[in-house]
Structure 1
């Protein structure tokens, strides 16, 4: 029978090397070990980051050649790439119309670089960091929406969906601002990528958000958190996930004790709305406070197979 849900792994990773922690991109050998572990735990594919594109060309020759290596390790393909742009209000800021020409050209170049494989989504944070956008006004949200409508038309012409991922430190992170933003975007071109932990940290119920916008959701990051941001947690330079003084570790794997995300309700909503396709599991900074990427990945995959897949079977 056709599987309604398949599982992709977002390639955050660290492991211990002779000189300290290394990531899987350290060498072809470490990449091979990483892919073997991802396949062994039962994942079907991987997601990656757009900033890896230079290394992909340098180490493997092209995205297609790198994907061949992924497939040689038993995984299907690369599903999504996260376009982690260097937001700067001087030249790359969705709420600043004067920067839109630069951003549009960036995406034309990006799509060309990835053109040797077929991606499902290119994922973006749809705003600068919160402290560079505040105060968040309706006009700024309109400007951002206008930009992403144009970017989405460019990606759609290449057969790739443009989808928005709202970090808790993103300029568009509150429930009210998210709703306003999507009211100005074209559902043909701008999709929503639900990150269960990031929304929860920002005080937004990811299940309710998904149910409201299920028709334009094109993917998920499934991960958990034990904390909701308070005070100025979302305003710390240069990275609130590291610098916020209230919380040492924001992200945990599905199945963690004291997790705040109701994954069973989330999967029930996914089933009810008949979502079919990929769900990505993400372990951002899993090695903080004694954590371990390989352990988190195994625990999350067990939870997906033994809890979530039984809900949507």
Structure 2
């Protein structure tokens, strides 16, 4: 996933700083054995400015040894006045936004457009069944747009999302069309919300179209998901929420999840995300290498065992 920071003579930068920094980033990701990348949708502006087109940027990616861009994450600027899935009056604006998004990325083949399907929790509460149904109504319409373009709409539920608990997830997916609205499982985010990602996958395996694999050491037991304006940054209970797969204190059971993934016949990509990996002295490049080690030496072994059995 698109998160990456490194130090430079003029301070902390990301891989989009220049073609040179992007070149080094892509080579590092390819060198440790990853196959492809995901990007945030808002990077489109920078891509067009720096590379001329989305197709040109993907060719740049492929020349560094990676297959392609798999998913885009549509990080919308949620605002109850203009852009809020649970408020029907904003749906026209959101639909127009997605029409533009589909057009921008039409040059390349994508698997998913990934979205957080609700506003921040504190902008939606009290979260009611009726509000979730209104949001579901919107995403059925957006899913029809993306399906017509050959791309799946995949919903990613952060722990601070307005639809976060198991009961809220069940209401949402009961009111969305399985052919149009898919689930994108982020192992750490669900775990922080008190939702077991293995159980969630088992329940919705036929609707899952992608994953973010990362670990966490903490569940949110005190309502940090209500912190303004950014729960991941403002929570004074937890300085670092996310860790690499296989972390010694991690709560996610990746081995059981991988066995379930093989058993259900999932054939898509599995993404690794290092969100805020530089907290408490962490390092993005190191996290990427450690996660690839775990994927190769633990998860790939499980895949082989499951297929042999």
TM, length-normalised to structure 1 = 0.97
Q: Give the structure 1 partner of residue 237 of structure 2.
A: 246
Q: Offset at 1:256?
A: 1.3
Q: Give the structure 1 partner of residue 159 of structure 2.
A: 168
Residues 218-267 of structure 1, C-alpha deviations (whole Å, 9 max, x = no match): 00000000000121200011100000111000000112110100000110
Q: Give the structure 2 partner of residue 69 of structure 1.
A: 60
Correspondence 1:181 to 2:172: yes
Query: How many correspondences in the alignment?
Result: 304
Q: Give the structure 2 partner of residue 272 of structure 1.
A: 263
Aligned mates of 2:9, 2:188 — CA distance in 1? 33
Correspondence 1:128 to 2:131: no
Q: Give the structure 1 partner of residue 109 of structure 2.
A: 118
Aligned mates of 1:301, 1:255 — CA distance in 2? 11
Residues 46-87 of structure 1, C-alpha deviations (whole Å, 9 max, x = no match): 000001010000000111000000000010000000000000
Q: Give the structure 2 partner of residue 301 of structure 1.
A: 292
Higher normalized contact order (CA 8 Å, seq sep 6+, divided by chain length): 1
Query: Which SS does the other structure have where 2:269 is aligned?
Result: strand
Q: Offset at 1:122?
A: 0.3
Q: Offset at 1:21?
A: 1.0
Match of 1:31 among 14, 18, 22: 22
Aligned mates of 1:66, 1:237 — CA distance in 2? 35
Match of 1:226 among 217, 233, 236: 217
Aligned mates of 2:284, 2:255 — CA distance in 1? 23
Residues 159-205 of structure 1, C-alpha deviations (whole Å, 9 max, x = no match): 00000000000000000000000000000100000000000000000
Aligned mates of 1:308, 1:81 — CA distance in 2? 25
Aligned mates of 1:252, 1:229 — CA distance in 2? 15
Moved runs in structure 1, 4+ residues, more than 3 A?
A: none
Q: Give the structure 2 partner of residue 4 of structure 1.
A: none
Unaligned runs of at least 5 residues, structure 2 = 305-309
Aligned mates of 2:116, 2:151 — CA distance in 1? 16
Q: Offset at 1:277?
A: 1.5
Q: Give the structure 2 partner of residue 93 of structure 1.
A: 84
Aligned mates of 2:300, 2:81 — CA distance in 1? 46
TM, length-normalised to structure 2 = 0.98
Unaligned runs of at least 5 residues, structure 1 = 1-9
Q: Give the structure 1 partner of residue 307 of structure 2.
A: none
